[in-house]
């Protein structure tokens, strides 16, 4: 049996460990927000130069750069999308999963982001709402959401092969983050209008 005097030590240790966990979560959110500021600055610099094919990194040691801006008018939100969806890139912002299919191309352009930072609000998007995309070339597209689905990524990859001009947003599910390393994905897909 645990003595009463030891209970307070367990409580203090638990409180310290909880505080460390909360600080870690706060750190990731702050890092994601600060990174988007730096990424947005690189995006603006890319769009201000004559040669818009130049890749400008958001910080000197970055292994990625901005390739497009994605806007959700109904949520009054936007993010800059990075060139890939590697673990390092996704820590800083949404990433393009399909480097060979850009928004506006025939096929499905997949964009991924974490459910607790940059795509935390895509669960509020509805069918018939719009998604606007501006590529680093300056070309803009408007897409209309027509499909929303939760899938098990181990067994289902919907809308990969399509002859439409489509984008699909991908994030882990459920949004509350109660399950780590979940195989479930929340997909919001939209077709070019």
Q: How many angstroms separate the CA atoms of 43 and 58, rounded?
A: 8
What is the pTM (predicted TM-score) of this model? 0.82
CATH class of the structural domain 4-192:
mainly beta
Closest CA to 169 of 95, 91, 89: 95
Query: Is the preceding omega at residue 174 within 30 degrees of 0, hence cis?
Result: yes
Domain ranges (residues) in the chain: 4-192
**DSSP reduced 3-state for 119:** coil
Write the pLDDT tens digit of every residue in 15-63.
Answer: 676 667 667 767 777 777 788 888 989 999 888 876 656 789 998 888 8
What is the chain's percent helix, strand, coil content, to nearest 5? 25, 30, 45
């Amino acid at each position: 049996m645990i003595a009463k005097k030891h209970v307070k030590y367990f409580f203090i240790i638990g409180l310290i460990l909880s505080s460390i966990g909360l600080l870690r979560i706060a750190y990731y959110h702050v890092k994601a927000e600060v990174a988007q500021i730096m990424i947005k600055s690189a995006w603006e610099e890319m769009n201000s130069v004559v040669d818009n094919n130049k890749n400008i990194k958001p910080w000197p040691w970055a292994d990625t750069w901005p390739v497009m801006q994605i806007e959700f008018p109904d949520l009054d939100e936007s993010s800059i999308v990075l060139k890939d969806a590697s673990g390092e890139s996704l820590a800083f912002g949404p990433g393009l999963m399909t480097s060979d299919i850009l928004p506006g191309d025939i096929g499905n352009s997949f964009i991924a982001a974490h459910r607790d930072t940059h795509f935390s609000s895509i669960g509020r998007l509805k069918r018939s709402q719009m998604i606007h995309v501006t590529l680093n070339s300056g070309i803009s597209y408007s897409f209309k959401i027509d499909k929303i689905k939760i899938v098990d990524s181990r067994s289902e990859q919907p809308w990969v092969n399509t002859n439409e001009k489509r984008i699909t947003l991908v994030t882990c599910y459920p949004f509350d983050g109660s399950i780590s390393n979940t195989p479930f994905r929340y997909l919001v897909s939209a077709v070019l209008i």
